[in-house]
Structure 1
Amino acid sequence: MLCLQLLACFFFLLLLPVLSILFLTRASAPKKQSSPPPSTTISPPRSYPVIGSFLALVANRHRRIQWLTDILQVTPSATYVLRRNIGIRQVLVANPAVVQHILKTNFHNYGKEGSNGTLQDFLGHGIFNVDGESWKFQRQVASHEFNTKSLRKFVETVVDTELSDRLIPILSSAAATGTVLDFQDILQRFAFDNICKIAFGFDPAYLLPSLPQTKFAQAFEDSVTISSDRFRSLFPFVWKIKKLLNIGSEKRLRIAISEVQEFAKNIIREKKHELSEKSSLDSVDLLSRFLGSGHSDENFVTDIVISFILAGRDTTSAALTWYLWLLSKNPHVEYEVLKEINEKSEATAFDEVKDMVYTHASLCESMRLYPPVAADTKEAVNDDVLPDGTVVRKGMLVTYVPYAMGRMETLWGSDWANFKPERWLEKDEAENKQWKFVGRDAYTYPVFQAGPRICLGKEMAFLQMKRVVAGILRRFKVVPALEEGVEPEFVPQLTSKMKGGLPVRIVER
């Protein structure tokens, strides 16, 4: 049996270059249609012996998340088994019942084994890359940072200070001079300063007027990008060979990760020194809790620091980037958001954002269309049968796709493509017909995951985003500086990005 598999693999590798060239040549040939075909013509990819749907994967490699979405949209059960090559199968999911099964009902059968090897170099044994006791421990320690008192402190001290002392002056200056800013970069800097201050008690001062370029920031970006490319690789053995030989992108990744780890270790050493100098701290942050938990392994704590930087820096900044672009395209929504902001202007910072119902709905709607994490992959520990009858074998990868789920007509109606905050709202008759938020269950809307691994920082993320939106829109109008008719491209890395950033002009209201 082993010999047959090796033989099949050998012939596959021999034929692959020829097949790929032929298919790509055909795919790039001029077409009579200048516009994309209607969605009714979309069908699941053809699968061939040995190579499966590899040719379709190659043809759609630059629009992979949209291609997977197209497939799930036309699959009646919204669960599809993709045959990749040499017998490798991957289950793609956009069915809420199946999402609930893998994230809650049969949670212990779907772990991180399928992805943690790919992310091991970057995230190590951090919370997003482990299962079992290590995951439970990290989650338990981190959970203490998300109570109401900590959230209020986060909004009224950390976020407000970064907003008033750094972000607003930069926007005022850009408005006065007509400077075009990359708002994706600005928001990443803002979020990075925030997460470092609240989680580690450290201020990297990355959002200064000079917008400094640092080795760490570039190294972190390279680490995210190259690690994401590993996931998208059609031939995982290629990056593994490059890693073994220390060449190309894998050499760059090793250098970048080394820079990121050194940055994290410096934060840890400073915190250890601070803890040794003082008998008690004025406030206890996340890093202090981990260091005080009995875990003295610097590498382990380094992995934790890097994981929380990734979560705090990239998710909220990605969500806000797409949100501000959608507001610019939908002035009636921007009007309603601004109206709510002005109505809440007398409240304290925390109470203001806590009660911003329409803005909250508009953020949910934005993340429905452009989720910060487009897809998440688990690996089956044992054989299983999904609620729709799909058979899963031990070791198979199972990927649920929030990006696709936000585009399912069966879940959101025929107007799913519209940016419509009202789909999250209803009029409250008891409260003078004020808007009342009506959420969706976490398995229909798994933007923050669901089940035991649901995001601890969900409420913190919403509070931060609403405070930023209120702080910006109350004083400025954000106008995208894109060419007429050009729409930004969604790039699904570990966290989603807007390709090339979001160039904007700032206009004083």
Structure 2
Amino acid sequence: MWKTKKLFNTESEKTLALIVDELHKFLGNIIAKSKEIFVAGEDLEDKDVSARIVRRAQGEQLDETFLVNTTVSFVMAGQDTICSALTWFFWRLFPPIPLYSKEAVEDDIWPDGKKVKKGTSIIYHIFAMGTSQELWSSDWADFHLERWLERRKSGTSYNDDRNFIARDPFTYPVFQAAPRTCLGKEIAVVLMKMVVATILKRFLLFYSVFLGTRFCI
């Protein structure tokens, strides 16, 4: 419906356009000041997202529009998804975004031979993938620490030490994958670690929590 409303320039779309324009101008001014500081040879401390983006963009042929859009992505994607991720953190079953969609910008062929035409919308259900018996076996609802641990091999035998093995992002694409990986992934992970460290120290942990069962006061 928004395409139709935008075509006829309805009141809501007109208001949205004004707000977006103001936001872009505001962020554009911040980025321009950060670039001036950097060009002047002054120390550009990474005190905010825009400063870090400008620093990382040096040497790349990136125009100001790209930098502004990247900053908007951090603001919009970071706020809602991080809040949602923290809300559901202790229930592993619920990802910040239950499903996501993409649109093919040109004709493509998937690895399995399936042809995708330009303009085709692809929707994948992250929540369903996280509860799939095909991917996680029949005990998908249980938390087993061993799912992410692999016994270390010493010579020709295995010992009791274990390594953490991260699941590939295509199996459970909570933060998406490859070039489309979420911009706020690292921020979200750091914040979740901080929240867990702050909350769990208020609880009495039983040994069973390390085996993947539960904890209580």
Structure 2 length-normalised TM: 0.67
Tell me if 1:409 matches 2:171.
no
CA distance, structure 1, for counterparts of residue 178 and residue 72 of structure 2: 24
- Mapped partners of 1:414, 1:444: distance in 2: 16
Shift of 1:310: 2.9
1:245 to 1:291, Cα distance in 2 relative to 1, 3 A: same
Contact 1:378–1:398 (CA under 8 A) maintained in structure 2:
yes
Partners of 1:315 and 1:373 within 8 A in 2: no
Query: Larger radius of gyration, structure 1 or 2?
Result: 1
State the percentage of identical aligned residues: 37
Q: Which position in structure 2 is the counterpart of 1:267?
A: 30
Q: Match for 2:178 among 448, 451, 454?
A: 451
- Matched letter for residue 415 of structure 1: D
Gaps of 5+ in 2: 205-216
Pairwise mapping of residues 74-93 of structure 1 onto structure 2 (< 5 A)? none
Q: Is the aligned partner of 1:280 residue 2:42?
A: yes
How far is 1:322 from its partner? 1.0
1:320 maps to which residue? Answer: 86
> Residues 138-287 of structure 1: matches in 2 within 5 Å?
238-275=1-38, 278-281=40-43, 283=45, 285-287=51-53
| Structure with the bigger percentage of helix | 1
Instruction: Give the C-alpha shift of residue 314 in structure 1.
Output: 3.3
Deviation at residue 381 of structure 1 after TM alignment: 2.0
Change (3 A) 1:436 1:372: farther
Figure out how many residues of one structure are paired with residues of the other and give that number. Answer: 197
Question: What is the CA–CA distance in structure 2 between the aligned matches of 1:293 and 1:377, rounded to whole Å?
Answer: 30
State the Cα RMSD in Å. Answer: 3.7
CA 1:239–1:283: 2 relative to 1, 3 Å: closer
Q: Does residue 473 of structure 1 match 2:197?
A: no
Cα distance in structure 2, aligned partners of 1:398 and 1:250: 26
Q: Would the aligned equivalents of 1:371 and 1:402 in 2 still touch at CA under 8 Å?
A: no
Residues of 2 paired with 1:296 and 1:438: CA distance? 35
Task: Kindly state the Cα deviation for residue 303 of structure 1 after the two structures are TM-superposed.
Answer: 1.4
Structure 1 counterpart of 2:26, one-letter code: F
Question: Which of 379, 385, 394 is 2:104 aligned to?
Answer: 379
2:103–2:122: 8 Å Cα contact kept in structure 1?
yes
Q: Which segments of 5 or more consecutive residues in structure 1 lack a partner in the other structure? A: 1-237, 327-365, 478-508
State the partner residue of 1:398.
Answer: 122
SS at match of 1:375: strand
Measured in 1, the distance between the counterparts of 2:25 and 2:37 equals 18
1:303 alignment partner in structure 2: 69
Specify which structure has the bigger relative contact order, considering alpha-carbon pairs within 8 angstroms and separated by 6 or more residues. 1
CA, structure 1 residues 252+475, in 2 after alignment: closer, same or farther (shift >3 Å)? farther
- What is the CA distance between 1:245 and its match in structure 2? 2.8
C-alpha distance in 1 between matches for 2:60 and 2:177: 29
Q: Matches of 1:313 and 1:296 in 2, distance apart? A: 25
Task: Please report how far the alpha carbon of residue 373 of structure 1 lies from its aligned counterpart in structure 2 after TM superposition.
Answer: 6.4
Mapped partners of 1:420, 1:393: distance in 2: 39
- SS of the equivalent of 2:189 reads helix
Deviating 4+ runs (over 6 angstroms): 429-432
